[in-house]
Amino acid sequence: MSDLSLGGVAHARGTDPQTSHDAASKVDVNGKQSLTLRAMFDLRGVVPLPVEAWRVSGMSARIQRRDNPKARPLGGSTIRTRLNEMARLDPPLVEVVDRDGLTESGGRCARYRLTNRGLELAGRVSE
């Protein structure tokens, strides 16, 4: 996987204890964003687009099992966080298309797609 700097920075709330701030400084946000982008890129042609975060999470777990079988898969909340971070970048790499998706349990959720910039970077990450 390519090592791109996507602009991700981990945060802790001002009210969090120092241990949370220390832990946030050790999070590899760029690596998690890169994996999320790669998963979205790999989902093209596999499932209808736009996609729900749980589908991105499943693909990221498959990529991790293949590339680094000893790594713990990213949780669903981590994937949603990375998707929303990348939607807030300037320019955004991901966009929220609508809230017409369905969770695995049938609830409503957001659906995402790569922007042109996200598609370009995801192709580089996947090389």
Query: What is the reported pTM?
Result: 0.79
Rounded Cα–Cα distance for residues 13 and 32 (Å): 20
87 contacts 40 by C-beta, under 8 angstroms: no
Rounded Cα–Cα distance for residues 99 and 111 (Å): 6
Q: What is the DSSP string of 60-104?
A: HHHHHHHH-TTSPPPPHHHHHHHHHHHHHSSS-SEEEEEEEEE-T
pLDDT band at 25; cut points 50, 70, 90: low
pLDDT in tens, 31-53: 889 999 999 999 998 998 899 99
- The domains located in the chain, with CATH, are 28-126 (1.10.10.10)
Q: Is the pLDDT of residue 76 over 60?
A: yes
Average pLDDT, the chain: 83
- The amino acid present at 71, given as its one-letter code, is A
Rounded Cα–Cα distance for residues 17 and 13 (Å): 9
CA 66 centroid distance within chain: 18
- Could you tell me what percent of the chain has a pLDDT over 90? 59
Residues 31, 89, 125, 123, Cα dihedral to 10°: 160
Phi (first) and psi of residue 98, to 5 degrees? -165, -175
Q: Is the pLDDT of residue 116 over 60?
A: yes
